[in-house]
Copies of this chain bind each other. A is one copy, B any other.
Amino acid sequence: MGMIGGGKDAFIGAVHRLAFNMDGQVELVAGALSVNPDIAVESGNILYLEQDRIYTDYKVMLEKEAAMPADKRLDFVSIVTPNFVHFDPAMMALDKGFNVVIEKPITFSLEQAVQLKEKLAATGLSLLLCHTYTGYPMVKQAKQFLKSGALGKIRKVFVEYPQGWLSTFLEKTGQAQASWRTDPKKSGAAGSMGDIGTHAFNLAEYVTGLQVTEMCAQLNIVVEGRMLDDDGAAFLKFNNGATGVLMATQVAAGEENNVKIRVYGEKGGIEWKQEDANTLLVKWLDKPAEIYRAGTGYLSSFASHNCRTPAGHPEGYLEAFANLYRNFALTLKAKLNNETPKEEWLDFPSVEEGIRGMAFIENVVKSGQSNEKWMKFEV
């Protein structure tokens, strides 16, 4: 595979490499790793790429790699650039016949996401969108458990994503992560809601199998001088009548990255939080709560398939990320071999989740700016 973005000092590119390396099924062989040619070359060398597959321009890379013979050809490219450089390389990659892995949010605008969907349909290629948290085995267990109907109709959803790293005016110091994420020209219409609110939103829809139909949002810029929201919340209405509250903030000083979801049905509820990622709590109205654990023998096939070690050997964020890649790779391999991918492999986020995520960003910003209380969730 090849990589666009993710040079030596980038955060998420390094995470991708840790994730796809892990299972030994994916090999990085080409890269246009930075817009800065020096960094692109240096990064390629650090990663042991062959000289002729280190590129300083992703367009050149896609051209040249598309011309490679079948046995050397890239199976897919990973696009790990800031948000405003997602759409163009993705479209070109698909045009050149490459499957695509893309960081969230999928594009800069909802419209682009819709175009990407059409392009995928036209090319028959596949896309993986990196909503990492849905790669955790116990998140998959939660989804399957709710799907089983064990808790009855879903009534209430609480999803929260508190971070604290933007509590100061960090972008002013030139810190790279903060700088582009708080810049509307690079990040898009939303700040925190785009960066982490989309994860919370995706988690809520993924775990419940429901869709948000209306929202009422409050968005704040807490740190003076910042250009995009760094804090916010939204009331949610779902298509089965359930309601919810979504919270995403990057100014909760002292918080790390503790994404958490709670869902309640008629008979009980589930709770999962990233800080204790290998545990799924199942609470019951009238009997003791249960602690489901990763790696045990009693999990659904969707959860078990995404565990690598026996119970008690904690797997974390990188393994969740690796699960996305592994399922994507297994699906591509099956398609290559004209086999039907297993349901468990196909359980990775793709362009539909990308469209929902972009719609979330546009709707949450619109609602945040509006004096209307409830707004239809428009896609």
Which residues of the other chain, B, contact A156 by a CB distance below 8 angstroms? 222, 231, 249, 251-252
Given A156-B249, A216-B373, are A255 and B283 neighbors across the interface (CB < 8 Å)? yes
Compute how far the CA of A319 lies from the CA of B254 in the bound complex, rounded to whole angstroms. 24
Which residues of the other chain, B, contact A276 by a CB distance below 8 angstroms? 276
Closest B residue to A287 by CB, please name it: B298
Please tell me if A173 contacts chain B, counting CB pairs below 8 Å: no
Closest B residue to A17 by CB, please name it: B24
Within 8 Å by CB of A23, from B21, B243, B252, B274, lies B21
Compute how far the CA of A277 lies from the CA of B23 in the bound complex, rounded to whole angstroms. 22
Within 8 Å by CB of A254, from B254, B269, B317, lies B269
Please tell me if A112 contacts chain B, counting CB pairs below 8 Å: no
Compute how far the CA of A258 lies from the CA of B269 in the bound complex, rounded to whole angstroms. 14
Contact digits for A33-52, partner B, Cβ 8 Å, 1 yes 0 no = 00000000000000110000
Contact digits for A238-277, partner B, Cβ 8 Å, 1 yes 0 no = 0000010101010111111110001011111100001111
Which residues of the other chain, B, contact A11 by a CB distance below 8 angstroms? 310
Contact digits for A301-317, partner B, Cβ 8 Å, 1 yes 0 no = 00000001111111111
Closest B residue to A132 by CB, please name it: B313
Number of copies: 4
Closest B residue to A233 by CB, please name it: B245
- Say yes or no: A253 contacts B21, CB within 8 Å: no
- Say yes or no: B314 contacts A151, CB within 8 Å: no
- Say yes or no: B275 contacts A312, CB within 8 Å: yes
Closest B residue to A268 by CB, please name it: B254
- Say yes or no: A285 contacts B21, CB within 8 Å: no
Compute how far the CA of A201 lies from the CA of B310 in the bound complex, rounded to whole angstroms. 22
Within 8 Å by CB of A216, from B167, B216, B311, B319, lies B216
24 contacts between A and B (CB under 8 A): A18-B22, A164-B264, A164-B285, A165-B310, A167-B285, A168-B266, A231-B243, A245-B245, A245-B247, A252-B264, A253-B267, A253-B285, A254-B284, A256-B293, A257-B311, A274-B312, A274-B314, A282-B288, A288-B291, A290-B291, A291-B291, A371-B373, A371-B374, A372-B373
